[in-house]
Amino acid sequence: MYQHSINEKDLDKALDLVVRECVSYVGVDVNTASQELLEKVSGLNSTTAKNLLLRRAEIGHFQSRKDLMSVNGINPQVFEQCAGFINIYQNEEKSNEVTYQPLDATMVHPESYDLAEE
């Protein structure tokens, strides 16, 4: 079977599933990710991904996962779904060391930070 032998819609659906799976294994850097990649994060859709980019443009750099709650469309339920797949790395030029949480750069979900810090 060849790629051109498969229905294009089925092929797109399979590719989307694989990309979503990869995102869930690796995560995304919210400060560099494109809208298309952010749309693949669990809990996000095209609207919230676009709103993330708009908020990033306003503030310049997300400093912590908590900053995600300032994005239009990210409520506590959406945050719970997406937070573990979004990574935030310290930017020496833009980060405030007081607010930087090293676990934000890992796959550890914020609800488990206390456990991880023990």
Domain assignment present for 1: no
Residue 95 has pLDDT above 60, yes or no: no
Which one is predicted more confidently, 104 or 27? Answer: 27
Cβ-count burial of 41 within 10 angstroms (0-12 exposed, 13-18 middle, 19+ buried)?
Answer: buried
Domain assignment present for 57: yes
CA atoms within 13 A on the CB side of 9: 0
Tens of pLDDT, residues 20-51: 999 889 999 999 999 999 999 999 999 999 99
Q: What's the mean pLDDT in 83-96? A: 79
Tens of pLDDT, residues 47-73: 999 999 999 999 988 999 999 999 999
Determine the pLDDT at residue 6. Answer: 82
Alpha helices (H) along 27-68:
35-38, 46-59
CA dist 113 → 14, 62, 72, 84 (Å): 34, 18, 25, 11
Determine the pLDDT at residue 36. Answer: 95
Determine the pLDDT at residue 52. Answer: 97
Residue 56's domain spans which residues?
A: 6-117
Q: Is the pTM of this model over 0.75?
A: yes
User: Which CATH number covers residue 94?
Assistant: 1.10.150.310
- Name the domain count of the chain: 1
Residue 94 has pLDDT above 80, yes or no: no
